[in-house]
Amino acid sequence: MNEAKFNAIKEALKYIKDGQIIGLGSGSTVELFIEELRKKIAEEGIYLGFVPASSMTYLKLATLGLRIESLDSYPELDISFDGADEVDERKFALKGRGAALFREKILSKYSKKYIIMVEDSKLSHKIGEKAKVSIEVLPFATRPVMARLKAMGANVELRNGERIKDGPIISDNGNYILDASFGIIEDPKKLAQEINEITGVIENGIFYENISEIIVGTKDSFKKIV
Ligand code: 5RP
């Protein structure tokens, strides 16, 4: 058990209120959070609905018998919870290792609150120190988009399946994912906008707005970036 991760999750559970419709991102943190949510529902008899950002999260919810809803039924969610690959003291985040960044960004935009939960090993001074920028791209436009990103100074790779799949991995939206390294990102908002201006880019993993709070778990406690 990663205690720092668990301490962030434990704090995030305090935001849960009976009757909420909750967006859930993707990844190991979210999976652990769902397990704790199930315990909370069983203990307190509360009624919650969930909108998953990925097939992974959907299957986890379905397996545990939790109520699955959609943005069609609930165009504005009460609150969403997510993990991240890297966060910084300025309240920026890099996301997308799990290839769910586009739908996660949608949840962040269409929720009254968007909470990120991470362990302290993912906290840096400025994002880009530890993680790369994930970029979802339309397969048809992969090579020209890569060329544009390289011209912007990035090291770019097409994400491959490695042991689990030969060739590029496919997102839940049927697209490819690029991993772009820009080094330390001084102006995340500007970079995010520049990336999204490249025709063929679906979305990038720089989260620079809509984050209500980042809960950073430590071995014994947590801190919040608000
Ligand atoms: C998926 C994500 C995840 O939130 C991020 O990769 C963190 O994953 P984990 O909780 O497994 O460390 O952005 O697209």
CA 30, distance to chain mean position in Å, is: 9
How is 114-165 classified by DSSP, letter by letter?
Answer: EEEEEEGGGEESSTTSS-PEEEEE-GGGHHHHHHHHHHTT-EEEEPB-GGG-
- Substitution candidate for ligand 1 out of 1, 6, 29 with most atoms within 8 A of CB: 29
Residues 104 and 212 in one domain: yes
Ligand 1 nearest-atom number relative to CA 99: 14
Residues 108 and 215 in one domain: yes
Longest dimension (CA), the chain: 55
pLDDT of the residue at 165:
79
- Assigned domain for 225 exists: no
Residues 30 and 120 in one domain: yes
pLDDT of the residue at 128:
98
Bridge pairing between strands 206-207 and 93-94: antiparallel
Q: Which two tokens stand for residue 45?
A: 């008899």
Give the count of domains, the chain. Answer: 2
Residues 33 and 96 in one domain: yes
- Rounded to two decimals, the pTM is 0.97
pLDDT of the residue at 6:
97
Q: At 41, is the pLDDT very low, low, confident or very high (cuts 50, 70, 90)?
A: very high
**CATH code of the domain covering residue 76:** 3.40.50.1360
* Residue 11, domain extent: 3-124+208-220
Q: Give the three-state DSSP class for 202.
A: strand
Residues 31 and 100 in one domain: yes
Q: Quick: pLDDT tens for 2-38.
A: 999 999 999 999 999 999 999 999 999 999 999 999 9
**CATH code of the domain covering residue 158:** 3.30.70.260
Backbone φ, ψ for residue 174 (5° rounding)? 80, 20
CA 161, distance to chain mean position in Å, is: 19
Residues 103 and 18 in one domain: yes
Residues with CB under 6 A from ligand 1: 25-29, 82-85, 95-101, 104
Q: Quick: pLDDT tens for 133-174.
A: 999 999 999 999 999 999 999 999 999 998 777 899 999 999
Residues 195 and 216 in one domain: no
Residues 114 and 216 in one domain: yes
d(CA 188, CA 120): 20
Lookup result for tokens 């999976």: 31
- Substitution candidate for ligand 1 out of 6, 24, 26 with most atoms within 8 A of CB: 26
